[in-house]
Amino acid sequence: MTTNTLLTISMITRRALMVLENQLTFTKQVNRQYDDSYAQSGAKIGDTLNIRKPARYIGRSGTTLTTEDYTETSTPLVLDTQFGVDLEFTSKDMTLSIDDFSERVLEPAIATIANKIDYDGMQLYKYIYNSVGSPGTIPTALSTYLDAGAFLDEEAAPKSPTRNCIINPRMQASIVDNLKGLFQSSTEIANQYETGNMGMTAGFKWSMDQNTATHTVGPLGGTPAMNGATTTGATTLVTDGWTAAAAARLKTGDVITIDGVYAVNPQSRVTTGQLRRFVVTANVSSDGGGNATIPVSPAIISSGAFQTVNALPANNALINVVGAANAVSPQGLAFHRDAFVLGCADLVLPRGVHMADRVSSKKLGLSMRAVQAYDITEDRFPLRLDVLYGWKCVRPELACRIAS
């Protein structure tokens, strides 16, 4: 008697999650949070997780007690993306072994899902204000990447094995070629030679990801400068001197500096000697008089526990944009894992279908659902694979963009 091996939905979902984990690059290096409360009956918590951020204190000198307010802050992580792949099989197809099914069917489907998750994650570059490199020029010197590490140090990012550097294929080819003979670690040299990857170098775990984002600098124009005074805590800059009545002088994700405004260490609040970089958070156009209001991050805070700058911008201080007008720049990222969070939750299992199952891993921070129906007319099994997730740049100070 012939014994058929019929795939069950649980076999598919468990192998699917394993394949998804293996396919991820950027996503594997970040903080991942999974919460099954989303799918529990009677325990719905909506589509938002609030991620706590650490409190900061000024401290005191001397013996006199000086109490400080405890200010706990959080940032919302919204699970706003449901993505999946839909397939269909005959009864004959479903007699494949799980290994055959994984290689022929699951891996291409899961690669699509993994690439979507990774791609969305890499778009978070738009929230990062620290940057190194020159837009439009692939970095060849290790000093560029060391500068990225210095920015993390100056922002008090933890020094740990969870510092990562994600670059695109061209950036990887350039840096591996230029540094292939300079390292004393025979293991790392062998790894570079055999795989074309950097491995663990210069304080970072290096990875290549084809999903790195590409930023195009705005068309710019004029000689922009501050127009008037700025109050502490401001998240907008009032400027003038732009080309009159021009659309999108700056684009979301552009990086700017202001003359005389320097970054400070978040713990000591002593200037780092580097101009504070700000990222533009929305497209900016100028009016008929060349005036423009620029929304920026981080907030311009000149004192207190959350101080970000040594001084408020002066009237007429010049605005400098990182990169030439319209420069096209793939964006690598150097970061501590806690700079970004991927949130994932269980999707509800429907009833009245042929099979439905999901596999979730709190360790991996991932959850995937598979639902299969049966078409009696055509003897077919339509199958859908879904993930529900959301990305958030929780602590942008723990990351640095690498322009190329």
Residue scoring higher pLDDT (294 or 97) = 294
* Beta strand pairing call for 278-280 and 73-78: unpaired
Of the candidates 256, 329, 343, which has an alpha carbon nearest to the alpha carbon of residue 298? Answer: 256
Residue corresponding to tokens 């903080």: 31
Which sequence spans correspond to the domains of the chain?
Answer: 9-124+341-392, 133-214+331-338, 218-321
Q: What is the DSSP track for 374-392?
A: -BTTTTEEEEEEEEEEEEE
102 secondary structure, DSSP code: I
Does the fold of domain 218-321 match that of domain 133-214+331-338?
no
What contacts 96, CB < 8 A, 6 or more positions away?
5, 7, 104, 105
User: Collapsing DSSP states into helix, strand and coil, what is residue 249?
Assistant: coil
Question: Which run of H or E residues covers position 295?
Answer: strand 292-300
The helix or strand, by DSSP H or E, that contains position 341, with its residue range, turns out to be strand 340-345
Q: CB 60: neighbour CB atoms within 10 A?
A: 11
Per-residue model confidence as pLDDT tens digits over 371-389: 989 888 888 889 899 999 9
How many CB atoms are closer than 10 A to CB 190? 11
Which of 31-35, 54-58, 266-270, 293-297 has the weakest average pLDDT?
54-58
The topology under which CATH files domain 218-321 is: Elongation Factor Tu (Ef-tu); domain 3 (2.40.30)
What would the CATH number be for the domain defined by 133-214+331-338? 3.30.2320
SS3 230: coil
pLDDT reported for residue 43: 40
| Distance in angstroms (rounded) separating the CA atoms of residues 137 and 126 | 19
Q: What percent of the chain has pLDDT over 70?
A: 85
pLDDT digits (tens, 9 = 90+) for 59-86: 777 777 777 776 667 778 888 899 999 9
The pLDDT value given to residue 160: 75
CB atoms within 10 A of CB 233: 12
121 or 359: which carries more pLDDT confidence? 121
The first and second tokens of residue 109, run together, are 């489907």
Tokens 């706590």 correspond to what residue?
52
CB atoms within 10 A of CB 115: 16
Question: Which pLDDT tens digit goes with each residue over 190-236?
Answer: 555 444 455 677 889 999 999 999 999 999 999 999 999 899 999 99
Q: If one looks up domain 9-124+341-392 in CATH, what number appears?
A: 3.30.2400
Binned at pLDDT 50, 70 and 90, residue 57 comes out as: low
